[in-house]
Structure 1
Amino acid sequence: MTRIAPEIADTIHGLRRLVGDLESFNRPMGPDDAVTVVDGLETVNRLVESLSVVTLSVFERVGTPRDYGAKSTKALIQNRLNLSEREAGRRSHLAEKLGNQVSFSGESLGPKFPAVSEALQNGYLSSTQASAIIGCLKDLPTHVGPDERREAERILVEKAPTVRVKDIQALFNEILAWLDPDGELPDEAPDRDEFSVSLRQRKDGSWTLKGVLDAVTGGIMSGHLTSRIKADLSEPGDEDVAHDMVDGNGADDAIDGDRAGDEEVVEVFSEVLRGDRWDAVDPSLNFNADLEIDAALGGSQDERTVDDGGVDRGCGVREDGSIVPMAGRQPSVKTKIYERFATMIGRIEMNRVMAGSPFALVVTAKAEDVAKQSGRAFTDAEAPFPMETAAREGLNGSVFFNLMGDKAKSMQLATERRFATPKQLAILSSRDQGCTFPGCDTPPGWCDAHHIVPWADEGETDINNLTLACGSHHHLIDKSDWHTVMLKDGRPAWVPPASIDPARRPILHARFIAKEIADTLFD
């Protein structure tokens, strides 16, 4: 490195010294100095990204990935630098679009997006902004001429530093309107043959789902998995007023706060769904409340009660009014998205079965194997099905069993009676208003009807034996010592494992406290 690029070697040594001096407090630095250094580091990062683009484009012109045991430049840097596939693809894509190229005859060609390339090299744009602009420009209609393309690129480069990255698309939409003021851009919708869905089972019984969806289908799916954050209310603001009665805040403030909070929640869900973030915690949960309760009066969770000033989101309440922090026990955003997807698929099939559809997920297994949760099971598609999962999901009423006896005679085991009826679900939705696990805000539409006394233990599909639970918390019962009970006053509660509370005192969702206050407000 010292011979090929001494500038890089000197910079590396200098930055290492700086890190060491700051870590050992040998170099004093105030807050203003720290902010100045952060600004400088951003400049360095942009220069490094620009240098990466130039270097990789040089390699593309003079090198061959196969000489280094790789199929492509992307695979080379992914393996050599231990990058994720996404990050390696991002870097190689930038080099392809913003680096200099050569024609088949050996003639030197400029980058495909010269204005973006120049702005990245001089530090005017970050690599994220550059990628966003490239993504927009590739969607320009084919009839747009080269002069108009250059002007669109110039506008986006000029305005990008003044807006958020996600707003670059909004600017591009305005450019599209400017290119076609009459709003009659030719329809260049992809051919339906370009869309596909593939589903393949893995050896452990799980499935890999891949595909490309059309704009309408993808939009509907995205909306289902990200936008339905709160339950649909019959009267706008009802939930805000009820929440206000517990929190002690003004109703208007609660509504405005929820709107702002919903926007942030939807944005985080969208980022995780797109893959821009691997995972995140639900931003609507108040994790600070957990710390405050734990630290109150020597760390006892029971020191703070509803009467002391309200219940924060993500907290549960015991029968005596003591508040229990539960934000840390809620599923992550990635898990919530998957559970919504699984619930959506399960709900479709449940509706088909209840309507008398000839198709259902049927698992064939020996009766004794199901009882012992051993042996092997197979679905009607002849795919292996984990026996433990077969037994658990069957007891939840989501599959049918074709049980085989010793003499290989079939015995049909139907499960419709385990499903809550539409009328029961309507009553449950009105009573529970969503998942009843303490602190969970999953609305009724994404919840299952859970048997408090399991069906396998002769529990009835009756309102007094049912409660709403989201997919994540429904499965929590199967893999932990959490379980549900129905209190004498008809409120469903969750009982924690002894490792969390040795006394195993039931915990209620805070919304039941709000409802109790509302019901007795004018008594």
Structure 2
Amino acid sequence: MSLSARLADATDAVGGLCGDAVVDRADALRGLAHDDVLDLARLAGELSRLVGALGAVVSSELGHRIQTDAVFRRVALGGDQGGRFASELLRDLTRADDDTVRAWEVVGEAIAPRTSLQGEALPCRHEAVAEAVLGASIPVAHAAIVARGISRVAFAAGAEELAAVETTLVDYAGSLTTRQLGKLVRQLPDRNDPDGAAPREEQLRARSSVTIRELPNGLTRLTADLHPEAAGFVRSALDAQTAPRRVAFAAASTETASSDDILADTRPLAQKRVDALTTMARDFLAHDPGRLAGTAVTMLVTVGLDELRTGLGVAHIAGIDEPISATTARRLAADAELVPVVIGGEGEVLDLGRGSRLFTEAQRRAMVVRDGGCIWPGCSAPPAWCEAAHLAPWFPHGRTDLDNGALMCAGHHRRFDHDGWALRRHDGIPYLIPPPWLDPLQAPRRAGRVPALAA
């Protein structure tokens, strides 16, 4: 079905739902069956994506006519020269906000048909983006992020590599927020920057700082801008102290507290981190022998075997987006308090079958390397906050091995077990299968981090 036909169907469905009055509209919705309300929510999402696709197509056509058609310029812009820009015309015609118009323009340029100097038809610049946008499978704002990211590294990579990265990003775009997708796109220079991570790492070190200021209200403000290595140590320590499964006494004092008084700590994370930082500092002062060196926490640093041998390339600290250089990873690997995870060509397979009910520490570390944190789309819970979940329940037939395990935060672990979700892996990539009550078609949703872009 064409884009215009799908848009017409969606419009008819919305228009036929109820009358013009807001009261009638509310009454009509409240009278619908549960399944019909769920269908309307799905329709709203598709209609939003269809409108974005239409905006991109129209933006492309407006730009083309403004550049090539003098009659259209006179009609639309008020003359052959001067007048309004295409973006200003689009804003006036649609009353859309600036960010939306810019996204339409970026995507419209990315999916517009092209011709060679000889007049031959050429593919559009971003075929995977075009297919996803015109098929209304991803929002146009996500498509714009992908198109901009690919364009920034186009000078440093071949066409086949760029096409593969674009396909991967489009595959993830339907499951992530714009902010999460933007973070993902920022990893692209790590694969294509000929100077590697070391120069960027030194720049971040030079810009790092910690400031302490006493405020008039009696509080002391600690502001820290940390380079990746420092952030790795601090995040690992804070995550260990503030994991959701830790408990706190709800009673006024430990003298009157009983087992019934032990409740989950429901304070905001920012407040928990204050106690965590205080505990870390107190523990350091209690055990400091007077030297100005040493390390008090354990981190996971993932580095390829070739990178570890040569010192060239990048490595990653678990829970930290910014990579470090392989040279820094080699230095850190000599620290007894750090666990280096070396990835060889074949990788390591851990399989304890049904010999153990719980995953071992070694298996959890392997999951940290593979999953990077909670595998649920859009969830940013770090490994320290996650549980090793059995995909097929251990009782009666589930195995306690890597293929039957995944990292999930407590909330998503509960959803997975109780709401009827499933998980399958295809070529090592996890896909969540929604329950029929949520999606009658049970279309797979890509999950987990992006190993193709994190290396």
Q: TM-score, normalised by structure 1?
A: 0.34
Which of the two has higher C-alpha Rg? 1
Q: TM-score, normalised by structure 2?
A: 0.39
